[in-house]
C-alpha cells in the first residue's frame, strides 16, 4: 500500500473549514459531541503554516493527496534540498513543542505532528536513506500513476501535468546518482535496477498508451519527447546502479533499529521484549495452523496442507475473484455490525502496472482533496517470462486471496482510508503511519475470521493463517536482519521452514527486509491493536463493543498507535502494550 504522508490546507475556504475541525473522537458511538474548547492562540495558524510549507517542500506527496496545483513537480533531492528538508522538520518539532497549555484535542494533534516529523527525520538523517537506499527515491515521487489512474481532470490537462513531470525527471535522476554510493547491498542493487528500469519501461510504454487517444498532435509530440527523455534518464540510472559493487552492509544495528521504532512509531519496548512477543505470536499461529490442517487436510504435513490450499485457484483468475469478493465482504461487515462504512466511494480492481509488480497486491486510495475518485485495488499477474508452473504457483489460492481482499479493501485499507479522509482532525486526515495502516489491515484479517467469515471452514482458516505467518516472519526477520546478525539466506530459510512460504516468496521477502526494516509493522501494529481492543472493550461488553472500538480507533486518522492507546485508555504517557 502507498502511504499518505501529508497534504495541507490549500484553498482558503477549505483551510478554514478543515483546519479548525479537530474535535476528538466521541467516547461512545453516536454520542453528541462535546462543546469544543477555545483554540489555543496561534496553534491553528501554526498548523496551517506548517502544512503549507510541508506541501511546498514535498510536492510529490502533495499531488498524491489531491493537491493538484503541485502537479508535475518533484522534490529537491540535491544536497541543499535535503538539508533544507531536515532543517524544516527540526523546526516543526521545536516550534510545536513550544506550544503548551493546549486543550486535550490540540495537545493530541501536537504530539501527532511532532511524532510524524521525528519519524521522517529518522529516515532522512539517522538512517541516511537518501545516501544509502534506492527505495527512498523509488517510493518518493517517481511514480506518475496519479496522472494516469485518477480522473481528477480531463486527459489533456493530466497529460500536460505528466509532461511537466517527465521534464523534471532527468534532473532528479542526476541528483539520485550524485547521492547514492557506488557500493551497496546486493539486494539494494537489485531493487534499484528493477525499480528505475521499471519506471523507464512504464514511461515509454503504458504511460504513452494511457494518453494515446488524446487528439492533439502537438501535445502528443511533446509528450513523446518528454517521456523518452525521462525514460532514458531512468534507464541510465538503472544501468549505473547495476554496476555498483555488491556488499552485505544492510543492517541498521540494534541501537539504530530501536531508534527507528521510537521515532517512527513511538514504540520504546526493548528488543528482547519485542522478540519474545513476536515469537509467541508465531507459535500461536503455528498451533492454530496445525489444528486447522488436521481438519482440512488430514494425514498431510503442514506443507501438504498449504499446497492443497494454494492449489484451489480462483476459477476465473484473481482479478475477477477479487471483484466478486468485495461486495460479499462489505455485506459481512454490515451484517456482523463490525464497523461503520462511511460514504459511497468504491474500490475498483485492476491488474497492477508492469513497473510496480514487486507486491502481489496493493491498494491506491485517493487523497482527502480528491472528490469522486475511486480507490484502485491492484493485483499483480505472474511474469509471462516465467515457466507455466511458476506462473501457476504465483496465482494465490482463493482462500489466500480472500484475506488479501480483506486486508486491502474491506475492512482493511479501503475502510481505514474512508475514515481517515473524514477524520475530525486535519492532521489525522493527512498523516497515516506504517504500523497504523498495515497493523489495522492485518488485524482485520484475524478479526474477520473471529467474526465468522468462512463459516468455520478450516480451509478458509488456513488461508487466513498463511497471511498471518508471512507477517510473523517479516516481524522476526526485521529484528534478525537489522539487530541480531541474521543473514539474508537465514531469513529466507525462516520464511520457508517456520512460515511455510514457497522459495520464491521467501527469497523476495528476505530481500525486502534488508531495504524495508520497518516491515515488522504489520504484526507490531496488529499486536498493539488487539491488546488495545481487549483492554478498551473489557468494561464495555467485550465482543458487543467491537464496532464502537473500531469506529473510535479509526477516527484518529493514522497516528502512532501508542498515542491512540494513551487517548482511548486515558493514560498519562504513550507506551506500547502488546
* Closest of 51, 61, 60 to residue 88, by C-alpha: 51
User: Residues 425-450: pLDDT tens digits?
Assistant: 888 998 899 999 999 999 999 999 99
- How many distinct helices (H) and strands (E) make up the chain? 26, 5
* Closest of 451, 465, 494 to residue 294, by C-alpha: 465
Task: Please answer whether residues 535 and 577 qualify as being in contact, where contact means their C-beta atoms are separated by less than 8 angstroms.
Answer: yes
Q: How many CB atoms lie within 10 A of CB 370?
A: 22
Q: With 0-12 CB in 10 A as exposed, 13-18 as middle and 19+ as buried, what is 167?
A: middle
pLDDT of the residue at 380:
87
**Strand 361-364 relative to strand 375-379: parallel, antiparallel, unpaired?**
antiparallel
Residue 122: which residues within 8 A CB-CB, separation 6 or more?
259, 260, 263, 264
Cα separation, 277 vs 162, in Å, equals 47
Reply yes or no: is the peptide bond before residue 411 cis, omega within 30 of 0: yes
Cα separation, 513 vs 507, in Å, equals 10
Q: With 0-12 CB in 10 A as exposed, 13-18 as middle and 19+ as buried, what is 232?
A: middle
The 8-class DSSP code of residue 558 comes to S
pLDDT of the residue at 26:
36
Q: Residue 265 pairs with which residues in a beta bridge?
A: none
Question: What is the rounded (10 degree) CA torsion for 460, 463, 464, 467?
Answer: -170
pLDDT of the residue at 41:
56
Q: Is 247 helix (H, G, I), strand (E, B) or coil?
A: strand
What separation in angstroms does the CA of 475 have from each of 276, 282, 300, 498, 511? 11, 10, 28, 12, 14
Q: Is 379 helix (H, G, I), strand (E, B) or coil?
A: strand
Cell 527507528, located at residue: 260
Cα separation, 71 vs 60, in Å, equals 8
Give the relative orientation of helices 413-420 and 546-555 as an angle to the nearest 10 degrees.
60
* Residues written for the chain: 578
Distance of CA 232 to the CA centre of its chain: 29
Q: Where are the beta strands (DSSP E) in 197-312?
A: 245-247
pLDDT of the residue at 425:
84
For the chain, the first-to-last Cα distance in angstroms comes to: 24
Task: Please answer whether residues 266 and 115 qualify as being in contact, where contact means their C-beta atoms are separated by less than 8 angstroms.
Answer: yes
Residue 315: which residues within 8 A CB-CB, separation 6 or more?
321
Task: Please answer whether residues 140 and 61 qualify as being in contact, where contact means their C-beta atoms are separated by less than 8 angstroms.
Answer: no
Mean pLDDT by 10 residues, the chain (578 residues): 37 28 36 44 88 92 94 98 98 96 95 98 98 97 93 97 98 98 98 95 93 97 98 98 97 98 97 98 98 98 93 92 97 98 94 74 92 92 81 89 97 97 88 97 98 97 97 98 98 96 89 97 98 98 97 97 98 94
Whole-model pTM?
A: 0.92
Cell of 421: 479522509
Task: Please answer whether residues 415 and 398 qualify as being in contact, where contact means their C-beta atoms are separated by less than 8 angstroms.
Answer: no
Q: How many CB atoms lie within 10 A of CB 5?
A: 20
Cell 477516527, located at residue: 555
Task: Please answer whether residues 404 and 396 qualify as being in contact, where contact means their C-beta atoms are separated by less than 8 angstroms.
Answer: yes
pLDDT of the residue at 358:
64
Cα separation, 177 vs 240, in Å, equals 8
Amino acid at each position: 500500500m502507498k502511504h499518505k504522508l501529508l497534504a495541507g490546507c490549500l484553498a482558503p475556504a477549505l483551510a478554514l473549514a478543515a483546519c479548525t475541525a479537530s474535535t476528538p473522537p466521541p467516547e461512545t458511538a453516536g454520542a453528541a459531541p462535546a462543546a469544543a474548547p477555545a483554540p489555543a492562540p496561534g496553534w491553528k495558524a501554526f498548523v496551517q503554516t506548517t502544512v503549507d510549507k510541508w506541501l511546498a517542500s514535498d510536492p510529490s506527496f502533495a499531488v498524491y493527496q489531491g493537491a493538484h496545483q503541485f502537479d508535475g513537480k518533484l522534490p529537491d533531492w540535491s544536497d541543499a534540498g535535503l538539508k533544507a528538508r531536515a532543517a524544516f522538520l527540526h523546526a516543526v518539532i521545536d516550534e510545536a513543542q513550544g506550544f503548551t497549555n493546549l486543550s486535550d484535542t490540540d495537545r493530541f494533534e501536537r504530539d501527532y505532528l511532532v511524532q510524524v516529523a521525528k519519524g521522517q527525520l529518522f529516515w532522512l538523517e539517522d538512517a541516511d536513506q537518501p545516501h544509502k537506499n534506492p527505495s527512498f527515491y523509488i517510493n518518493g515521487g517517481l511514480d506518475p500513476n496519479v496522472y494516469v489512474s485518477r480522473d481528477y481532470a480531463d486527459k489533456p490537462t493530466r497529460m500536460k501535468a505528466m509532461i511537466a513531470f517527465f521534464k523534471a525527471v532527468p534532473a532528479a535522476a542526476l541528483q539520485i546518482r550524485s547521492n547514492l554510493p557506488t557500493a551497496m547491498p546486493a539486494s539494494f542493487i537489485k531493487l534499484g535496477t528493477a525499480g528505475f528500469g521499471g519506471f523507464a519501461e512504464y514511461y515509454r510504454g503504458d504511460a504513452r498508451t494511457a494518453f494515446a487517444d488524446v487528439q492533439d498532435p502537438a501535445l502528443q509530440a511533446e509528450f513523446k519527447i518528454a517521456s523518452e527523455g525521462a525514460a532514458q534518464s531512468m534507464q541510465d540510472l538503472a544501468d549505473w546502479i547495476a554496476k555498483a559493487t555488491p556488499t552485505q552492509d544492510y543492517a541498521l544495528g540494534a541501537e539504530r533499529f530501536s531508534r527507528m521504532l521510537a521515532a517512527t512509531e513511538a514504540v520504546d519496548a526493548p528488543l528482547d521484549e519485542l522478540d519474545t512477543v513476536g515469537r509467541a505470536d508465531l507459535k500461536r499461529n503455528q498451533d492454530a495452523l496445525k489444528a486447522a490442517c488436521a481438519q482440512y487436510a488430514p494425514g498431510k504435513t503442514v506443507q501438504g496442507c498449504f499446497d492443497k490450499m494454494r492449489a484451489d485457484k480462483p476459477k476465473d483468475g484473481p482479478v475477477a475473484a477479487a471483484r466478486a469478493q468485495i461486495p460479499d465482504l462489505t455485506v459481512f461487515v454490515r451484517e456482523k455490525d463490525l464497523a461503520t462504512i462511511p460514504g459511497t466511494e468504491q474500490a475498483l480492481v485492476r491488474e497492477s502496472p508492469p513497473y510496480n509488480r514487486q507486491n502481489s497486491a496493493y491498494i491506491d486510495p485517493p487523497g482527502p482533496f480528491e472528490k469522486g475518485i475511486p480507490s484502485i485495488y491492484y493485483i499483480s499477474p505472474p511474469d509471462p517470462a516465467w515457466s507455466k508452473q511458476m506462473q501457476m504457483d504465483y496465482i494465490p489460492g482463493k482462500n489466500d486471496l480472500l484475506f488479501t481482499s480483506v486486508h486491502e479493501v474491506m475492512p482493511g485499507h479501503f475502510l481505514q482510508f474512508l475514515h481517515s479522509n473524514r477524520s475530525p482532525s486535519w492532521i489525522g486526515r493527512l498523516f497515516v503511519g506504517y504500523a497504523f495502516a498495515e497493523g489495522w489491515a492485518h488485524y482485520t484479517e484475524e478479526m474477520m475470521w473471529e467474526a465468522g467469515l468462512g463459516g468455520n471452514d478450516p480451509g478458509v482458516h488456513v488461508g487466513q493463517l498463511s497471511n498471518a505467518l508471512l507477517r510473523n516472519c517479516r516481524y522476526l526477520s526485521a529484528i534478525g536482519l537489522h539487530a541480531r546478525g541474521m543473514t539474508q539466506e537465514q531469513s529466507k530459510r525462516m520464511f520457508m521452514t517456520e512460515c511455510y512460504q514457497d522459495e520464491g516468496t521467501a527469497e523476495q521477502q528476505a530481500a525486502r527486509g534488508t531495504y524495508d526494516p520497518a516491515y515488522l509493522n504489520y504484526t507490531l501494529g496488529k499486536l498493539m491493536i488487539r491488546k488495545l481492543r481487549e483492554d478498551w472493550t473489557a468494561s464495555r461488553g467485550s465482543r458487543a463493543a467491537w464496532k464502537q472500538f473500531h469506529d473510535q480507533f479509526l477516527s484518529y486518522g493514522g497516528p502512532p498507535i501508542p498515542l491512540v492507546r494513551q487517548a482511548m485508555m486515558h493514560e498519562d504517557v504513550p507506551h506500547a502494550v502488546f
